[in-house]
Structures are given as structure tokens and as C-alpha cells.
A and B are shown apart, each in its own frame.
Chain A
Amino acid sequence: MRVVLLYLGLVGLPVLGIVGLLQVGQTLSAPISLAGTWNAQLNPESESTAADPGLLPQPMVLTITQSGPDVVLVFDDNQRTTLVGKIEGATIDATALGHDGTTATYAADFGSTPRSFRASIDCRAEPRRLVGVLVVDRGRLHAEVPIVAVRRDKVPKGGGS
């Protein structure tokens, strides 16, 4: 009898607690999911007057790794440029790792290098399409290049909150 009471108290009560916590958690919301592989197209409108993206491959593959609002973006250019940033609402904002001069040197050696990236997604109308601007270093020049990225693999399950 003592064991049964012990079991009910020590196991039954936490189970009820877990059920309650799961209910409370339904009200929480997490950042939008952007993790996965994206096909990125620079200068999607060919008549664009923006700078020539130079030696960057076209289309580029962009891999986004996400942990909550923190993201790591890796481009498949020669240097596998890595940008880190955050998601705020439906906007992703990322800059090159240690870009305090390092990126410019690379740019002079290898051609164009992505330096920062800012894009937004319309979760309702176009949940697979990021539209924004990629800032590219080319030598001492900075150029803002329009960019459109289309999600290649995972489609968000939309299971959250």
C-alpha cells in the first residue's frame, strides 16, 4: 500500500504537472524556420543596374543552420563565406564572421565576397522565398546586389504554437 501511495505521489503528480506544462507551452511562439538549403540567385532581374556580382557562382547554394533566432549562413563560393546573424520577425540579418578588414583582404585576392545579407520572407504568400540584398565586397568597393533565395529542401511543418 505504501509503495502504491509513494508511486502515485512521486509519479502521478509530476505526470499531471507535465500535462499542465504542455498546455502552457501552446501559447509560446518560436522564431520562423529558415534552416535548410536555398538556391540563391543574384541580380534576379537581368536589367538590374546593380554591380556585377563578379566571381560569385550563379546560382549560389546557401545553407542556413538555425538555432532559435541565431543563424549561420554558408555560401558555396570559393571561400565558403560564412555569415552569422539573427532572425527578427520575418527578417534575417547576417554579417561576415570577423569582417573587420579580413573580408576586404579576401575580396582583393579572390574576387567578390559576400559581406552581409538582409532578406525577408512572406510566410503566408511565399514561404519558400527569401527576398533581399547581399552586400558584396570587391576589392575596396562595396556593392549591394539584389538576391532571391528559394528553399530547396525542407518545407516548414508549421507545427509551432
Chain B
Amino acid sequence: MSNLPLLLVQIAVILFAARIVGWLFRRLGQPQVMGEMVAGILLGPSLLGWLSPDISAALFPPASLGFLNSLSQIGLLLFMFLVGTKLNTEILRGRKHTAIVTSHVSIIVPFFLGTLLALYLYPRLSDNSVAFTHFALFVGTAMSITAFPVLARILTERNLLHGRIGAVSIACAAVDDVTAWCILAGVVLLVRSSSGTLPLWLTVIGTAIYVGLMWFGVQRALRRLEASFLKRNSLTQEMMSIILLLVLVSGWVTERLGIHALFGAFLMGVVMPKDQGFVRALKEKLEGLVVVLLLPLYFAFTGLRTSIGLLSGADMWFYCSLIIVVAIVGKFGGATVSARLSGMPWREAGAVGILMNTRGLMELVVLNIGLDIGVISPALFAMMVVMALVTTFMTTPLLDLVYAAPERRHDLAEVETVRAA
């Protein structure tokens, strides 16, 4: 373990940068996670490696990144599990139709525009080792992501979660997340099956059996765990170890099936019992460590793979701008129009569109998967990271502009009146 001192220094530097930049972004009215994402980019070749290649090479030598990557992947696995635990079908109650239509339209419109964009980008940013279908499906998926956790945080911070906008947006984002992850699993499956790891039919049947097993078997077993928790009113170490073991096994199974370990962790979170106390206890035990310590490592690892320097020349920046415009038009436009057609006034529909356009961390996860499986090139990866940052950054100022404090208060008052009645 001769790399331990270096690993400790790397973690300390990453944590420090994440906290400082996160604090600065909070001062700008942005969520902490936005600052942490930017901190990761700043530690990579885009800034530190560019300003001081020697320090960068000493701090993050390529041979040492394996440890950092492993730690960050474990962190991400646990984070995806936590995201899954927050998905509750209860939030769809009373707005299932609006949520499903708005969510699916806000996926399919950017997906369509992404596929259209892929026609232009494929000869310019891809190569013949990637089939056009895989490339286009991936670009489409990357365009249609909404960051459920970041959205939840923005809504909570702005006291919007229990208003009409917040309720519709969070419900849409929940449907959006599940749908987008299913599409991504399909894309990963297609790409990996073409490179011959497992036959496609075996992966499809295996995945279907596994999901069924989780839904009807593991979920029931977990309810007994929940009952035990409710009886004792505490989450014991034994319970925690069972849950963590299941998360790891689930990740291992989906990785072996040829989709991705993250899907297994996410699925495990989705089938977890949704009793508020149980989920809260689980969150209290895990979230601090994952969000404060391990996720910044993932952002840093992403940052180390992001080289904004690859975007050299006017044409590269033109492609990048095009990606950003298509992403915004597709997601914001699709969600706004469908929310309007579902009966919301324009202002509220616009607010839903702005919120759904938040891509945040989930986009980074998707992009890293794309880079790992070789569907996107390093330059396209960098462009899409820029797009993820821009679309996440613009959410809060635009929301404050379109849906200012008086509207929020009015929305909340209306909801309170309906509740009281």
C-alpha cells in the first residue's frame, strides 16, 4: 500500500477544493453540488493540469488513479442506491397522468433532437469503431437526463417542494429518472452485446428475471427488515450490513449481466421499503459519508477525464454550443409545452421546464458510462460536461426570474387552502 500517503493527499485536496468551491457557489445562489462539480473540473487538466502540469502530475499520476476511481465508484454506487430509495410512487398520487405525459415528452423531445444532432456530430466527433445507432441513442439519452437529486435539493432550498410546481416537477423527474435509466441500460446493453461480452438475448432475459426477482422476492424480504426496524425503532449494524451487502451483490449481478453496476444499486434503492422513518434512518447513516466524502472524489475523477483543452478551435466550440442549445431547447421546450398542454398556465409550465432542464450529477454519471464503453470521444465528453454544467447553473437564476418569490408564496398558499378545505 505504498500509494496510501498519496491517496490521502489526493482525498484531502479534493475535499478542500470541493468545500471551497461549493461554498462559493452557494454564495451565488447555486446548489453545493454545482460547486463540487466545478471543483472536480478545476483539479483536472482543464485548469490545474494546464496551469501547473508538474503539480498536477505529482498529485494525480495516472498510475495512482485506480485507487481514486475505485473509491469514487463505490461512492457512486451508494449514491445511486440512495437516489433509488428516494423514489416513491406516492409522489405520483393525483398527478400520475400529468407527470407521465410531461416526463415522457420531456424525455422524447430532447431524445429526438439529440438523435437529429447525432447525424451532424457522428462524422465529426466519432469514429468507425462506434455504430451510428449506438452513438445516436447515447447522444439522445444524454440529452434527456434530469437530475432528480439536484432538483430535489433546489426545490427544498427554495421551499417549493410542497407547492404545485415542486410536486409536478419532482414527480416528473422521478418518472424521468426511471425511464432514462431504463433507456441507458438498453443502450449499454446494445453496445456491450455488439462487442461480444454476453449474447444480447441472455442479457435481456437475465435482466428481466433479475428485475422480477428484486421486485417480487427481495422487496418482500426487505419488508421484514423494515418491520424489524419499526419494532426496534433503530437501524442496527446487522441491518446495515445486510442492506450494504445487497447493494453490492445487486451491483455485481447487473455488471455481470452486461448493463452496469449502477443499475443494480439504483434498482436496490427503488425496491427498498419506503417508510419515512426507515428511509430517513438509512439516509442518516449513509448520506453524510457518501455526499461529503465519496461524491467529490467522483467529481474529481470526472474532472481528471475532462479536458476542456480538447475544444480547440472555432468548430469545436461551435459543436459545443450546438449541443448546449439542443439540450436546452429539447428539455426545457419539451417539458414546458407538455406541462402547458396538460393544463398548467404558461408561467408555471415554464418553471417546470426550467426545473426539468437541470442535469447535474446524473448527466456526469451517464457521460462517464458513455466514455467507459467507448461510445463517445474525449472531446464530445468534454462538450457534454460543459453542457451539464451550463444547464445546471442556469436553473436557479432562471427559476428566480420566471417564478419569483411572490408567485411561490401564492402557489404555496393555494396548496395550503386546498389542503385545509
Contacts and interface: CB of A to CB of B under 8 A. Distances in A.
B342 A22 contact: no
B140 interface: yes
B190 to A, nearest CB: 10
Interface string A12-26: 001101100110111
B115 A159 contact: no
Nearest to A32: B128
A82 to B, nearest CB: 11
Nearest to B115: A21
Contact of A6 (B101, B132, B133, B378): B101
A10 B338 contact: yes
B130 A160 contact: yes
Contact of A159 (B134, B137, B310, B379): B134
Contact of A10 (B105, B116, B119, B133): B105
Interface stretch (A45-53, A62-70, A100-108): A62-70
A65 B378 contact: yes
Contacts of B125: 67-68
Given A10-B108, A68-B377, A33 B97 contact: no
B136 A30 contact: no
A12 to B, nearest CB: 9
Interface residues of A, number: 36
A161 B132 contact: yes
Given A10-B101, A18-B112, A30 B134 contact: no
A125 interface: no
Contact of B116 (A21, A29, A68, A161): A21
B104 A11 contact: yes
A159 B123 contact: no
Given A10-B108, A33-B128, A66-B377, A18 B101 contact: no
Interface of B: 97, 100-101, 104-105, 108-109, 111-112, 115-116, 118-119, 122-134, 136-137, 140, 194-195, 310, 337-338, 341-342, 374, 377-380
Going nearest first, the 8 A-B pairs with the smallest beta carbon separation are A67-B379, A160-B128, A159-B131, A33-B129, A67-B377, A33-B127, A25-B132, A14-B112
